[in-house]
Amino acid sequence: MGFDFNNPFGSITELLTSLLINLGLPQPLVSVILAVVGAGILAGVTLTTAGVFNIWLERKIGARFQDRLGPNRVGPFGLFQGIADAIKLTLKEDITPTGADKVVFNVAPLLAVMSVVGLWAVVPFAPQLIGADLNVGVLYVVAIGGVGTLSVIMAGWSSNNKYALLGALRTVAMLISFEIPMVLVLLVPTMLAGSMGMVAIVNGQDVWFLLLAPVAAFVFFVSSLAEVGRTPFDLIEAESEIVAGYNIEYSGMKFGMFMVAEFFHSFTIGALFTVLFLGGWRGPGSETYPILGLVYFVAKTFFMYFIVMWIRYTFPRVRIDQMMALNWKFLTPLALVVVMATAVVDKLALSQGWPRTPVHLALNGTLVLLTLGLMQAYARALRRRVEGMRQPEAGEIAGAAVGPGS
Amino acid sequence: MQLDLIAWLIPLPPILAFAAIVLWAYRSNRLSHGLAIGGVAISWGLAMLLFVQTLGIERFGEHPVTSSVRWLPTGQSALEIGVLVDPLSTIGLFFVAWTLLAIFVYSVGYHNFGHQADPQDVKGLPPKSGGIEPMYARFFAFISLFAFGMLVLVLSDNLLLLFIGWELMGLCSYLLIGFWYGRPSAREAMVKAFLTTRVGDVFMLLGIAYLYSQTGTLSFRQILYNEQVLNTLASTPAVIGGLSAAGLIGLLLFIGTIGKSAQWPLHVWLPDAMEGPTPVSALIHAATMVSAGIYMILRIFPLLTAGWHEGGGLTPTMMVIAGLGAFTALFAATIAVAQKDIKRVLAYSTISQLGYMVAAVGIGAFVAAAFHLVTHAFFKALLFLGSGSVIHGVEHGVHETHEHVDPQDMFNMGGLRHKMPVTFWTFLLGGLALSGFPILTAGFWSKDEILADAFAHGHTLVFWMLALAALLTAFYTMRQITLTFLGKPRSQAVGHAHESTWTMTAPLVVLAVFAVGFGWVGIPEAFPGLGGILPNWFHEFVGGALPEHPAAIAFDPTPLLVSVGVALGGLLLGWLTYRRIQAGAPDPLRRLLGPVYPVLENKYYFDELYDYAIVRPAYWLAETFTYTFLDRRVIDGLLHAIGRNSLRVGAFLRSRIDLPVVNGIGDWIGESTKSSGHQIRVVQSGRVQQYLLVGIVFTGLIISFFLLAGA
Amino acid sequence: MTAMQAVFLLLGLVTFISAVMVVVSPQLIHAGLWLVLTLAGVAGLFVLLEAPFLAVVQVVIYIGAIAILIIFAIMLTRRMLRDEGRQLNSLWAGALVVTLILYAVLVFLILQEPSLAAASQPIQAESSVLLADLGRALVDVDRFILPFEVASVLLLAALIGAIYVARPMMAGEDRERQE
Amino acid sequence: MIPLSWYLILAAGLFTIGLFGVLARRNAVAILMSIELMLNAVILNLVAFWRYGQPVDISGQVFAIIVFAVAASEAAVGLALILSIYRRRSTVAAEDINMLKW
């Protein structure tokens, strides 16, 4: 078995597989072990390097948005700022509040990081370079997201702090709510690619799904932002309302883990978006040189990450009722419609032999127009009602007082 | 679309409209009449589609469209409901659909749609001053239900379904006659109509039951087009001597027709039924429901005539039918001559014309009867709607002038031809059709065919009675037209009358077209000059409904001359008598006829006769004999005696047996149940988990018992 | 003992112990968290059974929805949180006896049946093919579409019912009930 | 390899533990959790039988999925009921919820 330098990751996998099978382990178990090990290594390596770098990046770019310089003391361009932060957090005192549920309190941050790192197990960086190509990869993403929710609950409850509990309740309500449109629109790339496996989805993107399903991409992006709890959805740690949310009692590296989890998560949604809608590693030449695919992937991911940051420094925070309304009255119905429409149109297009991309583009265009029209009508009705409330006539008041059903 | 599917669908829209109006739409008048008219328009469209489609079918009578489903299983067999589209039902559907549509549209205008509701109007009374009818939506609901009943009746393929439609219409007739239930006369009329027709219906139901017991089926196809069944029925002697089973069944069913089609002696309800709104009079009591009786005997024609061959002697049943029809025709015509109320004249005219058809059926003139049925439906609906338009216009004048005149009394009218031209011309056409104005009108052709048939087959008595009736018909028709439209206004109110809205006049025009034109499809081939220009399509088409195609009768100038003579003569007489009548002057006939006139005016005192002969004796029987004597004295006395003795026995049983023995046992059972309940009730702790635990333990015990026992 | 058996024993032990903890732990929220662990263990067993789809669905539905919902409900009702008194009712001893007997009988029956106890080789099947087949089977008219649709109707009914039952009473309604 | 009986014994264990919880726990939410345990045992059984029986015939998984749906409905409705009772009676102890007792 020769080592193919054009496809290094595939060769390594094959090598390890044959090695383990020779040790007497059965095939399925070997793939499980390899998946776990591979995912661990991949995620660990990627995230520790990317994490430290990301913190620097975020602070630097954020500074630029706010017309500042940002970190510039530690290392060239302040590059080592992330490392310095990490060291500082590690050295800080680790406080466990009295009355806290110690085990749960300590497990929560671990779970938080785990849930993010776990996501990377199914992210294909390049051809063959994937922790585990589960054939239910998309569903796996959702499942792991659920574990993140659990960590928030655990943190909030175990802190024995009212603000933490309130923050946790808010967060969980939000996470559970936004999971629904996210899961729904995840069906769109699944349908378009005909598989739930991440690699199959990437392979299916001869045309980026962003072009085939821009509405779904939009819904996915917005709901992932909410899942991360990034601005404009950072009301879960709104300092002015509930001090700092579920992680108020955490300090030192445990707090650091929550923070890192959040940073990773924003980065991760960039990666997921890339995989699902931007064609993953695919680009000119990536078939012949898999290494090039990795470059494409990282570039796309960072671009998405930049957009996330851009939004963070641009938009104000929404209120909780606005957030819920956005989810239940806008994203969820839209996602439902998109899923159904895409399913029908795609089936039609395939059976009738229509060109796929224009058909889907037209469908999405129609959906956008419809949505905008509906929103306009809704806004108009709302305005009319508000105006009616401002200057109520005598008869109206009497009518309202009697009301129906009384 | 398949024809049987269309046939199934035809009756549905009106019943859906009825349900929708009654349940939801009744708050909106516009929506209600929209639903009703929309429903009947869909039915109309489907009926026309069916009509056009069936025209193209060769030998349609032998291959009708049938479809049925099992409905009520009865032992081995099952009662079925189904549709039958043969030439007869096609023709029936044709005139029913047209008249329904016309009258529905007419009702919109008649009930003053578009006018403001008058706050003085109350439900149950007609609007006082031209406001919209307070129960507008209800009216449309009722007539929609009626339309359903009529369409079911026409399309049904068996007697049971026909009877259902029949009774449905009876109910609607009752409801609609009493639509203005605030008027005592309307209440009495509705009860009268209902009870009178019920007399006929009971006999009809008897006939149906007898038929079912004899043949085991009620399907038209299986009975009427089955030579064997008919022969068996015709040769089986019935329970009543001298009649065959077929004859008796036919007679019983015919009594249903007597009630429904208001033949003597059950005719008394129809004139009173004019208490309902005029569209109802036109729809139910002229065009459709009363025709249903004729339709039914046409439907069962092979059964009625079982044992009779064309040209042969009449069976007893047919003799009864022919005699009764001819008598009714003449009898009602004489009454119509002396009536003042514009609608009452038409009501008696309807009875008379229905008598014609009955007589035609009685002498075996199937096609002629069907032909007259259709043409009569058109021109009589037209006349009623026209009279409604007249009344409407005169009422308007009454409101304007505040003059207290009866808006339905013809002697108050006159000169309306200038005020209401459309109504006048259409009414004139309808009147001419009714009186059988030669060549031009449909009534001439259909009536002439009946007369020719009667003459050709030697039923001279019938022929002359009908001819005399025709003369009277022409006379009273002209009397009506002259009094109403010609001359000068005889009251101020009439001077202020004006033409009705288009929703009322448009149906008049449509019906007038049919009243004139429909006769041309049935011109006999042998008619001199005109015969053969247009094929005698009607005879060919409808005659196909019979197993044996009836032969066309040879031409004979006598009946033609007689019918032309009586028509023109009657018209002329009518015009001459009434053209110069002054306001407040008595009817010139009064002088002419002397003592006969009051008899006619009071309808031969039939209402009084029934009152003395039936109603009062019934009251007396109920009050004096049954109540006072039988009930109070005999039965009560008996009961009191039994009661007193029972009390004594009871007291004995109670004190000696019940209290010590029975009660003791009962109390003991009760008490012991109570105490054991008290002891057991700790088991019901209200704790679900305990129940579950007990359940599991016992389930385990039972399972292990069976497992161990099995092992 | 093969590696697979070791993995199974490990997972089974975790599942079993956390299941025990679910029913005995005095704090309700701990019970909820133990429940999560039990469910995760069962998900792992599904992976061993080569039903990855069910494993992921188990995580999504049970951990991500049901368990979270239960914990959420516990947190919403604060008295439950504080309720650290007696967690078992008076029947617990009887219940323990009954369940132990039941378990003993079940284990006895399972072990008695030789075909079950044999260390049989599970039949190999390509899991992605199975997944596709599962998807088709659920919407195939000839197979499971009816139960599938009924289940979805059941879910909808449960959704509506839950909202109706749990919603706070309106002011007017309250008055109505008092009357 | 792993014998089928191991799975069955484990599932039986989960089931009886759940049953014990249903029978013995005071708190209604805890009872609900125990019911979930029992349902999970059922699912485990279904999947194990499927795997060792006829994996090509997918019905075991289908039934598992339907049980998932039932479990989700049960949890939602059960929790709604418990919350409703809690709001009215301020208790969630199963033995205190005995309003229908004689």
Residues 6+ apart with CB under 8 A from A346: A191, A192, A356, A360
| Domain-embedded: residue C102 | no
Query: Nearest to residue B353, comparing CAs of B440, B453, B433?
Result: B433
Chain B to chain D Cβ contacts (< 8 Å): 29
pTM of the model: 0.55
| Domain-embedded: residue C148 | yes
In the predicted model, what is the mean pLDDT of residues A198-219?
Answer: 85
Contact B686 D22 (CB under 8 A): no
Q: Are B298 and B250 a contacting pair, CB within 8 Å?
A: no
For residue D94, give the nearest of B681, B684, B688 by CB distance: B688
Tens of pLDDT along A253-283?
Answer: 788 888 878 888 888 888 888 888 888 888 7
Q: Would you say the C-alpha torsion C111, C113, C119, C122 has a positive or negative sign?
A: negative
How far CA A292 is from CA of A6, A201, A270, A282, A289, in Å, comes to 10, 19, 19, 9, 6
Query: Nearest to residue A55, comparing CAs of A82, A79, A29, A31?
Result: A82
| Domain-embedded: residue D80 | yes
Tens of pLDDT along D43-72?
Answer: 999 888 888 877 667 888 888 888 989 888
Tens of pLDDT along B267-291?
Answer: 888 888 888 888 888 887 777 888 8
Residue-level pLDDT at D27: 82
In the predicted model, what is the mean pLDDT of residues B409-420?
Answer: 80
| Domain-embedded: residue C68 | yes
In the predicted model, what is the mean pLDDT of residues D20-39?
Answer: 88
What angle (nearest 5°) sits at the alpha carbon of residue B326, between those of residues B194 and B279?
40
| Domain-embedded: residue A406 | no
Pair (C77, C147) in one structural domain:
no
Q: Would the pLDDT of A45 be above 80?
A: no
Contact D102 B685 (CB under 8 A): no
Split into its structural domains, chain A has a count of 1
How far CA C118 is from CA of A131, A144, B252, D6, in Å, comes to 35, 36, 85, 10
| Domain-embedded: residue D101 | no
Split into its structural domains, chain D has a count of 1
Chain C CB contacts of B690 under 8 Å are: 91
Higher pLDDT, A338 or D96: A338
Residues 6+ apart with CB under 8 A from B76: none
For residue D94, give the nearest of B684, B687, B693 by CB distance: B687
Average pLDDT, chain B: 83
Question: Taking the CA atoms of chain D, what radius of gyration do you get in angstroms?
Answer: 17
Residue-level pLDDT at C80: 58
How far CA A76 is from CA of A73, A86, B38, in Å, comes to 8, 18, 85
Q: Which residues of A11-43 are buried (b: 16+ CB within 10 A; e: fewer)?
A: bebeeebeebeeeebeebbbbbbbbeebbeebb
Q: pLDDT band at residue B494, thresholds of 50, 70 and 90?
A: confident
Query: What whole-number percentage of chain B has pLDDT above 70?
Result: 97
Residue-level pLDDT at D17: 92
Tens of pLDDT along B219-229?
Answer: 888 887 777 87
Q: Which helix H or strand E contains B612, and what residues bound it?
A: none
| Domain-embedded: residue D6 | no
Pair (C21, C78) in one structural domain:
yes
For residue A147, give the nearest of C63, C71, C76 by CB distance: C63
The three-class DSSP label of residue C86 is: coil
- How far off is chain D from C52, nearest CA to CA, in Å? 11
Residue-level pLDDT at C13: 92
Separation CA B593–CA B587 (nearest Å): 10
Residue-level pLDDT at D13: 92
Pair (C76, C142) in one structural domain:
no
Instruction: Give CA B203 to chain center in angstroms.
Output: 16
Q: Is D10 exposed, middle or buried (0-12, 13-18, 19+ CB in 10 A)?
A: buried
Tens of pLDDT along B446-463?
Answer: 888 888 888 888 788 888
CATH code where residue C20 lies: 1.20.120.1200
Residue-level pLDDT at B301: 85
Q: Which helix H or strand E contains A6, and what residues bound it?
A: none
Chains that touch A (3 or more CB pairs under 8 A): C
Residue-level pLDDT at A403: 40
Instruction: Record the tokens describing residue C147, joined without a space.
Output: 């139960």
Q: Is B559 exposed, middle or buried (0-12, 13-18, 19+ CB in 10 A)?
A: buried
Work out the number of other CB atoms within 10 angstroms of the CB of residue B533: 9
Separation CA B451–CA A312 (nearest Å): 101
Residue-level pLDDT at A402: 42
Residue-level pLDDT at B311: 64
In the predicted model, what is the mean pLDDT of residues A4-22?
Answer: 64
Peptide bond into A284 cis (omega under 30): no
Contact B681 D102 (CB under 8 A): yes
| Domain-embedded: residue C115 | no
Instruction: Record the tokens describing residue B490, joined without a space.
Output: 């005889």
| Domain-embedded: residue C40 | yes
What angle (nearest 5°) sits at the alpha carbon of residue B624, between those of residues B620 and B627?
115
Q: Which helix H or strand E contains D4, and what residues bound it?
A: helix D4-24
Q: Are D24 and D16 a contacting pair, CB within 8 Å?
A: no
In the predicted model, what is the mean pLDDT of residues A332-352?
Answer: 86
C95 → chain B, closest CA residue? B693
In the predicted model, what is the mean pLDDT of residues A277-298?
Answer: 80
Q: DSSP assignment, residue A66? A: T
Query: Which residues form the domain of A135?
Result: 8-388
Q: Is D94 on the interface with B (CB under 8 A)?
A: yes
Contact B689 D102 (CB under 8 A): no
Q: Are A10 and A128 a contacting pair, CB within 8 Å?
A: yes
- How far off is chain A from C68, nearest CA to CA, in Å? 7
Work out the number of other CB atoms within 10 angstroms of the CB of residue B171: 14
Q: pLDDT band at residue B8, thresholds of 50, 70 and 90?
A: confident
Residue-level pLDDT at A397: 47
Work out the number of other CB atoms within 10 angstroms of the CB of residue A244: 16
Query: Which residues form the domain of C46?
Result: 1-83
| Domain-embedded: residue C152 | yes
Mutate to test the interface with A, among C56, C81, C134 (most CBs of A within 10 A): C56
Residue-level pLDDT at D15: 93
- For chain C, the residues whose C-beta falls within 8 A of a C-beta of chain A are 2-4, 7, 29-30, 33, 36, 47, 50, 52-53, 56-57, 59-60, 63-65, 67-68, 71-72, 75-76, 127-128, 131, 172
Q: Would the pLDDT of A132 be above 90?
A: no
| Domain-embedded: residue D35 | yes
CATH code where residue D77 lies: 1.10.287.3510
In the predicted model, what is the mean pLDDT of residues A296-321?
Answer: 85
Instruction: Record the tokens describing residue B377, joined without a space.
Output: 């439906």
| Domain-embedded: residue A375 | yes
Query: Nearest to residue B495, comparing CAs of B581, B570, B412, B585?
Result: B412
Instruction: Give CA A340 to chain center in angstroms.
Output: 23
Q: Is A154 exposed, middle or buried (0-12, 13-18, 19+ CB in 10 A)?
A: buried
| Domain-embedded: residue D40 | yes
Q: Would the pLDDT of B381 be above 90?
A: no
Tens of pLDDT along C76-123?
Answer: 776 655 655 667 777 788 888 888 988 998 888 888 877 776 656 666
Contact B693 C101 (CB under 8 A): no
Q: Would the pLDDT of B166 be above 80?
A: yes
Contact B693 C102 (CB under 8 A): no
Separation CA B318–CA B358 (nearest Å): 10
Count CA atoms within 13 Å of residue B218 on its CB side: 29
Query: Which residues form the domain of D61?
Result: 27-92
Query: How far apart are the two ends of chain D, measured CA to CA in Å?
Result: 56
Instruction: Give CA D89 to chain center in angstroms.
Output: 25
Split into its structural domains, chain C has a count of 2
In the predicted model, what is the mean pLDDT of residues A43-53?
Answer: 72
Q: Would the pLDDT of A405 be above 50?
A: no
Residue-level pLDDT at C178: 44
Residue at a domain's end among C83, C108, C138: C83
Q: Are B353 and B294 a contacting pair, CB within 8 Å?
A: no
Residue-level pLDDT at B134: 83
Average pLDDT, chain D: 84
Q: Are A281 and A289 a contacting pair, CB within 8 Å?
A: no
Residue at a domain's end among C49, C83, C117: C83
Contact C99 D19 (CB under 8 A): yes
What number is the ipTM of this complex? 0.71
Residue-level pLDDT at B246: 82
Residues 6+ apart with CB under 8 A from B56: none
In the predicted model, what is the mean pLDDT of residues B98-120?
Answer: 84
Residue-level pLDDT at B465: 87
Residue-level pLDDT at C124: 62
Higher pLDDT, B39 or B120: B39
In the predicted model, what is the mean pLDDT of residues B632-653?
Answer: 88
Instruction: Record the tokens describing residue B64, joined without a space.
Output: 């009708």
Q: Are A38 and A132 a contacting pair, CB within 8 Å?
A: yes
In the predicted model, what is the mean pLDDT of residues B487-496?
Answer: 77
Q: pLDDT band at residue C18, thresholds of 50, 70 and 90?
A: very high
Instruction: Record the tokens describing residue B576, joined without a space.
Output: 């001459």
Residues 6+ apart with CB under 8 A from A221: A269, A273
| Domain-embedded: residue C116 | no
In the predicted model, what is the mean pLDDT of residues B190-218?
Answer: 87
Q: Would the pLDDT of A394 be above 60?
A: no
Average pLDDT, chain A: 79
Q: Across B42-129, where does the E strand assignment appear?
A: 65-74, 77-85
